[in-house]
Copies of this chain bind each other. A is one copy, B any other.
Amino acid sequence: MPPSLPLLFLRRHRLYIRLRLLSTTAAASSPPPPLEVTLSHPIYMLWGSNTGVGKTLVSAGLAVSSLSSSDPPNPPPKFVYIKPVQTGFPRDSDSRFVHRKVSEIFLRRRTPLPLLASDHALRASGPAAGEVPGGGAGDAEAERSCVMEGGWKDLWSYVERLVPGTESETGGSSSNAAELVCKTIYTWKEAVSPHLAAEREGANVSDPSLRESLGRCLEACLKGRDRTMCVVETAGGVASPGPSGTLQCDLYRPFRLPAVLVGDGRLGGISGTISAYESLKLRGYDVVAVILEDHGLLNEAALLSYLRNRVQVLVLPPVPQDLSDDLMEWFHDSDKVFSFLREIMLAAFAERIKRLHDMPRKARNVFWWPFTQHGLIPQENVTVIDSRLGENFSILKVHSNQRDQLIAPQFDACASWWTQGPDAALQIELARDMGYAAARFGHVMFPENVYEPALKCGELLLEGVGKGWASRTFFSDNGSTAIEIALKMAFRKFSLDHGILKDLTIDDFVERSLDIKVLALSGSYHGDTLGAMEAQAPSSYTGFLQQPWYRGRGLFLDPPTVFIHNGDWNISFPKPLQSDVLKIETMTVSSCDDLFSQTRDSSDLARYYSAHISQKLFQLEEPRESVYIGALIIEPVIHGAGGMHMVDPLFQRILVKECQNRKIPVVFDEVFTGFWRIGRESAAELLGCLPDIACFAKLMTGGIIPLAATLATEAVFKAFEGDSKLMALLHGHSYSAHAMGCTAAVKAIQWFKDRHTNPNIVHEKQCLKELWDPELVRQVSSHSAVQRVVALGTLCAIELKANGCDSGYASIYLSSLVHRLREDGVYMRPLGNVIYLMCGPCISPQVCNQQLEKVYQRIHEFSTETAKHTEFVSLPE
């Protein structure tokens, strides 16, 4: 017995203030503005484990429950329902259903408060608009202000009702009313999957535009009023395609809204619900509850057992099959369930907020961060990272009023400590692969065994970064261990080649002690374990304070370095190189390509480098006979942790030649440079010469999981052959060649080099296209505050002019600059007075340059302010 509708029924056209809700016609390729999500109100995404499982009924039920709750009388509650994508429109409209049902229920039940309920559909495809009474067909276009754009019509279809409350029977005012806001953003006529409807009706919307629209809609609808709850209802199942064809679980991932999953109570529904849940987990979503209609099959028991009671499972009464049923009774019977669901959602929301809030404090009590003087990091400087996707972190942003909190994206300019490579698509692929590898292998021990991911990874390494020289892969866990292994390999090879092992028994070796040194470059860095440290020149990272055992077992040469200044590439020669012959301090090179050109090998400079190196080696060999140079170890092209210094490639090439002429094994530390970091798959390729041993890590797995490899030539490998196990390389780590790491590496190595997955690959040259706009780089390098720039591959490093204690590793000179950039959405961590932008190999150059632009602006601002206080001592240029 439906009541007659004594409603204040307003149908308003063009009366409401138009929200800046819909994206402008920005090119699809241009990145969207930051997608910030407020934490002031609980916002949930409602997913279905299939179509037709009753998502909209759950939305309506939640709306009723939220709007009827009168816990505190003021402010009155508000419920926002958003349906970003609706097909079958206007015949089907989930937001209209929610609007109508909730209004009906309120009318019947008469709560004390009046209810102001609105339903608003924003945009329609041409065919959908044509079906809306007064929505596009019939009347004159101009009059309706329908704007055609990319197949879209603005659809000012707006309905508002005021259901009076018991306490204000007559008229009712909207100011003290509970409020229901229902919005549909994009609509199509055909009742098919959105990607089909979009194609067939010629009205498509790109993923960034759709996200932007949803972001704006959330922002507009959630402003103000406390006691607001919001539900965003997806279309179809969790992995149903959105309008562009992107799966919805991927499409909405940048928001990573907490999820409620509507399960399937039918036969087969256990499977569908569990699989849908797993698809959500495989995208990093948190599911707080599963709710499903009772079909008498007790599916909830199986679901609870699977979920091990970690996620709540709720059961709704069977929905009447009779289509004429107005569902009033069903909603009444479901009341308690929805109220419980709402409580779960509110509790999970409150818990999340509390945890996020507490995290900085707890972190400061629990962690011992590497490379960090804890006293210098106040609580407010601790960054809470809620998640990452592709190049961006999502961090907790607390406004100065301490009340407004957001989850906001931030560009990870550290490429998460130089490891990171995946774009969003690769990250999700890797997630599935990680699940697969863990399920198939967990971890299996390596020695004397073979399993697919390890073998494939080994093969890809030898075909790729080891091409033309390496024949063996030795796996370990990180760059530092890879270096320790490389040194052991090199020393054995050297000892064998130089007769040191001749006529000695195995027992002799245990006692034997010789002074074997490495040849290395000042400013290079190879890791923090003792062996790796010993191969480095004394620096802040070494010394008694860090490890009293450090001695510095190397002959360390000062290399000529290269940088951009005023738009020019310059070579700077260190003091020891500025002798009688080379009287200059710097030299300008016409281009970066020229710098790497092999034609330089026959130049005067090459001969000079060669003579210089020979002399150094001779000096060492002469005085004491028992000192050997057992290995050359270099970071090819770029000294990373040493301050992002680029070394003259010619110098390194000559160094390698001189060593190989003397049968000194050459080790390339490509932990930082490997896998496209500087524009080629390996730095060796760019340098144009081959090592005997090389170390890889970081980007090798796409930057998601530790794994390292030391590659070696067959000659190096053979130096460990013998009858006894004691002749073998007795070095290993438990997780050697672990299946998950190798699986990630296999995927990442292939992804980065394939032009179908990496748009930056210039196929003919097997290199990355230029990511940093040369003009912008010139501009930055010409700024008076900038000392030098190195832009190569995925790296753009900028050294700022600084004096005394403002320069060097321990400097905190740039703290304020870095904090402002974080406000701009760029997450940086300086190396003393050097800042850098680092990105993945698949990144859009446009994004790179947007970040560089921000950096440039902030440098300018910073230098202007600094200039007020101090004056730069002009440095030799």
The interface bits of chain A over 18-49 (1 if a CB of B lies within 8 angstroms of the residue's CB, else 0) are: 00000000000000000000000000000001
Interface: A543 (CB within 8 A): yes
Whether B495 contacts A370 by the Cβ 8 Å rule is no
Complex CA distance for A355 and B453, rounded to whole angstroms: 12
Contact status of A473 and B367, CB under 8 A, knowing A435-B432, A531-B547, A722-B375:
yes
A204 lies within 8 A of chain B by Cβ? no
Nearest CB in chain B to that of A512: its residue: B544
A449 within 8 A of partner (CB): yes
Residue of B nearest to A703 (CB): B443
Pick the contact of A448 from B237, B377, B529 — CB < 8 Å? Answer: B377
Q: Quick check: is A472 within 8 A (CB to CB) of the other chain?
A: yes
A549 within 8 A of B: yes
Whether A240 is near chain B, meaning CB under 8 Å from some CB there, is yes
Interfacial chain B residues near A723, Cβ < 8 Å: 373, 375
8 sample A-B contacts, Cβ–Cβ < 8 Å, listed by A number: A50-B268, A370-B731, A419-B735, A428-B439, A509-B543, A510-B544, A513-B548, A529-B529
Could you say which residues of chain B place their CB within 8 Å of the CB of A427?
438-439, 442
* Interface 9-residue window, one of A97-105, A312-320, A533-541: A533-541
Interface string of A819-852 (1 = CB under 8 A from B): 0000000000100000000000000000000000
- Which of the residues B393, B553, B733 comes within 8 Å of A528, measured between beta carbons? B733
Given A528-B484, A528-B732, A734-B479, A809-B725 contact (CB < 8 Å)? yes
Q: Choose one: B375, B412, B458, B736; the contact of A721 (CB below 8 Å).
A: B375
Q: 1/0 per residue A782-796: CB within 8 Å of B?
A: 000000000000000
User: Closest Cβ of chain B: how far from A23's Cβ, in Å?
Assistant: 24
Q: When the two chains form their complex, are residues A545 and B492 in contact, meaning their CB atoms are under 8 A apart?
A: yes
A382, CB-defined interface residue at 8 Å? yes
Query: Lowest 10 CB-CB distances: which A-B pairs, in order?
Result: A237-B271, A370-B732, A284-B440, A435-B435, A530-B531, A51-B268, A363-B450, A284-B439, A275-B275, A431-B439
Partner of A435, one of B275, B434, B733: B434
Q: Are A506 and B545 in contact (CB under 8 A)?
A: yes
Q: Is A447 within 8 A of B371, CB to CB?
A: yes
Which residues of the other chain, B, contact A737 by a CB distance below 8 angstroms?
367
Nearest CB in chain B: distance from A69 CB, A: 30
- Pair A385/B305 contact, Cβ less than 8 Å: no
A726 to chain B, nearest CB (A): 5
The reply on A589 being an interface residue by CB < 8 A is: no
B809 pairs with A728, CB closer than 8 A: no
Question: What 0/1 readout, one digit per residue, does chain A (424-465) give for beta carbons within 8 Å of chain B?
Answer: 000110111011111111111111111110110011001000
A455 touches B239 (CB 8 A): no
Q: Distance in Å from the Cβ of A378 to the closest Cβ of chain B?
A: 10
Q: Mark A355-381, 1 if CB is under 8 A from B, else 0.
A: 100011011011111111111110001
Please tell me how many copies of the chain the complex holds.
2
Q: Compute how far the CA of A50 lies from the CA of B271 in the bound complex, rounded to whole angstroms.
A: 7
Who on chain B is nearest to A724 by CB? B810
Bound form: Cα–Cα A819–B370 in Å: 45
Contacts of A759 in B (CB 8 A): none
For A386, what are the chain B residues with a Cβ–Cβ distance below 8 Å? 451
- Select from chain B the residue with minimum beta-carbon distance to A47: B271
- Specify which chain B residues have a CB less than 8 angstroms from the CB of A725 in the assembled complex: 371-373, 376, 809-810, 812
A738 at the interface (CB under 8 A from B): yes
> Does the CB pair A544–B509 fall under 8 Å?
yes
Q: Are A727 and B547 within 8 A (Cβ)?
A: no
Cα separation A298 to B732 with both chains bound (whole Å): 52
Give the residues in chain B near A373, CB-CB below 8 Å: 720-725, 727-728
Nearest CB on B from A199, distance (A): 10
The yes or no answer to A480 lying at the interface (CB within 8 A) is yes
Query: What does the 1/0 interface line of A707-733 toward B look like (CB < 8 Å)?
Result: 000001000010011111111111111
A703 touches B442 (CB 8 A): yes
Interface check A586, CB cutoff 8 A: no
Take A447-B370, A450-B367, A724-B373 as given contacts and tell me if A245 and B697 are in contact as well, using a CB distance cutoff of 8 Å: no
A272 B275 Cβ-Cβ under 8 A: yes
Asked, given contacts A434-B434, A509-B543, A734-B697, whether A268 binds B297 with beta carbons under 8 Å apart, the answer is: no
Indicate whether A70 reaches chain B with its CB closer than 8 angstroms. Answer: no
Is the CB of A276 closer than 8 A to any CB of chain B? yes
| Residue of B with least CB distance to A448 | B377
Residue A388 CB within 8 A of the other chain: yes
Is there contact, CB below 8 Å, between B547 and A829?
no
Question: Are B445 and A829 interface neighbours, CB within 8 A?
Answer: yes
Q: A514's contact among B459, B544, B732, by CB below 8 Å, is which?
A: B544
| Residue ID in chain B nearest A728 by CB atoms | B373
Contacting pair A495 B548 (CB below 8 A):
yes
In the complex, whether A278 has a CB less than 8 A from a CB of chain B is yes
In this assembly, does A676 line the interface, its C-beta being within 8 Å of a C-beta of chain B?
no
- A454 and B531 contact, CB distance less than 8 A: no
